[in-house]
Amino acid sequence: MDYPEIDRYASLDSPIHRFDPRAKIITFVLLLISFVFVQKISVAFLALLFSLLLLLVSKLPIRFILKRVQIVLIFVLPLLIIMPLTVKGTELFSVFGISATREGLWYASLIVIRSMAAVILILTMLGSMRFDTTIKALYTLKAPKTLVQMLMFTYRYIFVIIDEFLSMWRAMSAKGFNPRTNMYGLSVMGNMVGMLIVKSYERGERVYQAMISRGYTGNPKTRTAFAMRRTDYVLSAIFVGIAILVHINTVMM
Amino acid sequence: MHISDGVLSLPVVAAGWIITVALLVITLRWGERDKSIAEQIPKLSIMTGAFFVASLIHVSVGPTSVHLILNGLLGVVLGVLSYPAMFIGLTLQALLFQHGGLTVLGVNTMIMGVPGLISYAVFKTGYKRNISLTALGALCGALATVLAVILLAVVLVTTGEEFVAVAKLAAVAHVPIMIVEAIVTGFVVAYLAKVKPELLPVDLGDKR
């Protein structure tokens, strides 16, 4: 179990890193929405190239990206095998009486390309600013308060809870527990999850009491110093333009 | 299994968001019946964090390993507020681990969250009918997984007929997960009944 270090490289310096967080969130989400609904493979490919370009500009290390892109690939790559074999259409080739179809391959490729473009966009956006900056920007963008607050608290406590879980796990390993998937192993696992929940519940009580004693009312005030500069406007305009451009074909036809 | 960005069609993604936003509004209002939601945020968030971490636990099944989903347990412990908790959990999964996409958050929350709400109702009704808590927990764990798989299949097939085979395979792949979920959830509920019965939505009374 590792810490979720999505913003490990937020301290690098690049035009993407310097881009105003609010504008970054809005424009990247627009690009994302635009890219995931592209219908043509050629356009989807261009979208992927554009995402890669942004990634390149952001100077985020390739290893950081690859490790995370892998997770999405595990989900979408099987489609490349399953779909050509199961979708009906023109035969592309056949081996041992099993035929692969052009339509299946086309559809699966479209999905793989779109999801790659999407995940690279998301990684470039999140990787280039601290996660608490992302949350602050969401505040200033007037995202629903309750949800943003929950997001912030949950994010903070994930680290604490991971530590708690790891220390429980170490204690059990030290006593010779060997996780096996049988009734006994799962019962231990169940008790451990139960203990984690009880511990977190009690921690929640303590945290809440500590917070109200310091005047928490449920409406935290944040002081933010975001300021849009000229480059931010230019970048935003370009990104919005591309998000629209990708779909101009479909609308015209 | 969470769906990635770029897989589903626009109507399905839009429908997912409409359902999720509506359910978020309803459940947050409902959760406010006896205490304002602002006061519940710290506790609710820490519980969400606990479930998030618990869902990172991998269990090896045969040659592969599956991670716990615990959406049934989430429903049983957090009640209606399990829906916003699930939404936040999945948002963080998408943002921090790229497990599931951002544009499909509405759909993914519906797939996992609605079975959670149903588990909550089943748990409460089942308890009134005097079913043992462990069995009820196991039932909720299994039921929530089965319902999630059904919803997943519905979502995929609605996007396109191309997904029929994929949906079938996904359903088969979830059978071991269902069994693991049922057993683990059963044990967790039994543990909670012993150690912290106020976390369960039923009044255990003398049965403790």
The pLDDT assigned to B208 comes to 47
Name the average pLDDT for chain A. Answer: 87
List C-alpha distances in Å: A145 to A149, A187, A212, B85.
6, 39, 18, 14
Residue A87's pLDDT band, with cuts at 50, 70 and 90, is confident
**Burial, A182: exposed, middle or buried (Cβ in 10 Å; 0-12, 13-18, 19+)?**
exposed
How is residue A253 written in tokens? 């036809």
The pLDDT assigned to B98 comes to 87
Nearest CB to A6; choose among B2, B39, B95 = B95
User: How many folded domains does chain B comprise?
Assistant: 1
Nearest CB to B41; choose among A37, A153, A201 = A153
Residues of B in contact with A151 (CB under 8 A): 88, 91-92
Question: Between the CA atoms of A177, A164, B36 and B116, what dihedral angle is there, to the nearest 10 degrees?
Answer: -30
> Is the model's pLDDT at B201 over the cut of 50?
yes
The pLDDT assigned to A83 comes to 87
Contact (CB, 8 A) for A114 and B6: yes
Residues of A in contact with B37 (CB under 8 A): 146, 218
List C-alpha distances in Å: B19 to B1, B16, B86, B105.
19, 5, 14, 11
The pLDDT assigned to B207 comes to 54
Domain ranges (residues) in chain A: 15-138+227-252, 144-213
Q: Is residue B191 part of a domain?
A: yes
- Which H or E run contains A173? helix A145-174
List Cβ neighbours of B102 (8 Å cut-off, separation of 6 or more): A29, A32, A118, A122, B5, B94, B95
Interchain proximity B45–A157, CB inside 8 Å: yes
Contact (CB, 8 A) for B114 and B147: yes
Residue A228's pLDDT band, with cuts at 50, 70 and 90, is confident
Domain extent at residue B139: 10-207
The pLDDT assigned to A218 comes to 66
Nearest chain B CA: its distance from A82 CA (Å): 7
Nearest CB to B84; choose among A1, A134, A147 = A147
CATH of residue B38 = 1.10.1760.20
Residues of B in contact with A51 (CB under 8 A): none
How many Cβ pairs within 8 Å bridge chains A and B?
239
The pLDDT assigned to B160 comes to 85
**Closest residue in B to A86 (Cα–Cα):** B165
How is residue A231 written in tokens? 């480059």
Interchain proximity A193–B57, CB inside 8 Å: yes
Other Cβ atoms closer than 10 A to A128? 30
Q: Fill in the amino acid letter for A125.
A: M
Q: What angle do CA B75, B80, B84 make, to 5 degrees?
A: 90
The pLDDT assigned to A247 comes to 83
Q: What are B10-45's pLDDT values in tens digits?
A: 999 999 999 999 999 999 999 888 778 877 888 889
Residues A49-55, mean pLDDT to the nearest whole number:
94
Nearest chain B CA: its distance from A71 CA (Å): 7
Structure letter (DSSP) for residue A91: E
How is residue A152 written in tokens? 């912030």
Residue A252's pLDDT band, with cuts at 50, 70 and 90, is low
What's the ipTM? 0.90
Q: Is residue B187 part of a domain?
A: yes
The pLDDT assigned to A165 comes to 92
The pLDDT assigned to B1 comes to 66
Contact (CB, 8 A) for A235 and A19: yes
Q: What are A9-36's pLDDT values in tens digits?
A: 888 889 889 999 999 999 999 999 999 9
Nearest chain B CA: its distance from A103 CA (Å): 9
Residues of A in contact with B42 (CB under 8 A): 153, 204, 207-208, 211, 216
The pLDDT assigned to B204 comes to 74
Other Cβ atoms closer than 10 A to B95? 21
> Is the model's pLDDT at A230 over the cut of 50?
yes
Report how far residue B72's alpha carbon sits from residue B195's, in angstroms, rounded to the nearest whole number: 19
pTM (2 decimals)?
0.92
Q: What are A96-138's pLDDT values in tens digits?
A: 767 788 888 888 999 999 999 999 999 999 999 999 889 889 9
Nearest chain A CA: its distance from B130 CA (Å): 22
**Closest residue in A to B93 (Cα–Cα):** A4
> Is the model's pLDDT at A197 over the cut of 80?
yes
Q: Is residue B158 part of a domain?
A: yes
How is residue A67 written in tokens? 């490790």
More confident residue, B59 or A174: A174
Report how far residue A195's alpha carbon sits from residue B82's, in angstroms, rounded to the nearest whole number: 19
Q: Is residue B4 part of a domain?
A: no
Interchain proximity A150–B45, CB inside 8 Å: yes
Nearest chain A CA: its distance from B58 CA (Å): 9
Residue A19, sorted as left (phi over 0), alpha (psi -120 to 50) or beta, turns out to be beta
Residue A220's pLDDT band, with cuts at 50, 70 and 90, is low
Residue B162's pLDDT band, with cuts at 50, 70 and 90, is confident
Interchain proximity B190–A190, CB inside 8 Å: yes
Structure letter (DSSP) for residue B33: S
How is residue A53 written in tokens? 């370009």
> Is the model's pLDDT at B112 over the cut of 70?
yes
The owner of tokens 């990206």 is A65
The pLDDT assigned to B25 comes to 94
Residues of B in contact with A119 (CB under 8 A): 4-5, 98, 101
Residue A182's pLDDT band, with cuts at 50, 70 and 90, is confident
Q: Fill in the amino acid letter for A240.
A: V
The pLDDT assigned to A253 comes to 52
Q: Which of A200, A207, A214, A250 to mutate to test the interface with B (most CBs of B within 10 A)?
A: A200
Report how far residue B125's alpha carbon sits from residue B118's, in angstroms, rounded to the nearest whole number: 11
List Cβ neighbours of A222 (8 Å cut-off, separation of 6 or more): A136, A139, A140
Report how far residue A240's alpha carbon sits from residue A226's, in angstroms, rounded to the nearest whole number: 20
Interchain proximity A186–B187, CB inside 8 Å: yes
